[in-house]
Structure 1
Amino acid sequence: MTGKLVDALIVEDNDIDTEAVKRAFRRADFANPTHSAGDGEEALEMLRGSHGRPKLPQPCVILLDINMPRMDGITLLDELRRDDEFKQSIVFMLTTSGYESDRKSAYDKNVAGYFLKENLGALVETLKPYCKGNEFPA
Structure 2
Amino acid sequence: MNDSPILLAEDNPDDVLLTRRAFTKNGFDNPIIAVADGEACLQALLPEHGPAVDPALVLLDINLPKVGGLEVLGRLRSDPRTRIVPVVILTTSREPRDVLEGYRLGANSYVCKPVSFTTFVTVVRTLATYWLRVNEPRPRTGVAP
Shorter-chain TM range is 0.7 to 0.9
Matches within 5 A, 1:118-137: 118=114, 120=120, 121-136=122-137, 137=139
- Runs of 4+ aligned residues of structure 1 deviating over 6 Å after TM superposition are none
RMSD (Å) for aligned C-alpha atoms: 1.8
Question: Following superposition of structure 1 onto structure 2, how do residues 1-138 of structure 1 map, counting pairs within 5 Å?
Answer: 3-50=1-48, 54-57=51-54, 59-118=55-114, 120=120, 121-136=122-137, 137-138=139-140
Q: Distance in 2 between matches of 1:60 and 1:110?
A: 16
Shift in Å, 1:113: 1.3
CA 1:133/1:42 → structure 2, altered by over 3 Å: closer, same or farther? Answer: same
- Cα deviation, 1:75-125, whole Å, max 9, x if unaligned, reads 000110111111112000111101000000001122121111115332332
Residue identity opposite 1:8 in structure 2:
I
TM-score, length-scaled by structure 1: 0.87
Q: CA deviation digits over 1:24-74, x for unaligned, max 9?
A: 00000111121011111101111134467x5212x5300000111100100
Does the C-alpha gap of structure 1 residues 96 and 4 become closer, same or farther in structure 2, counting only changes over 3 Å? closer
SS of the counterpart of 1:94? strand
Partner of 2:143: none
Unaligned runs of 5+ residues in structure 1 are none
Deviates more, 1:40-49 or 1:15-24: 40-49
- Amino acid in structure 2 at the alignment position of 1:30: F
Q: Percent identity?
A: 32
5+ residue gaps, structure 2, are 141-145
Closer, same or farther: CA 117–4 of 1 in aligned 2, 3 Å: closer
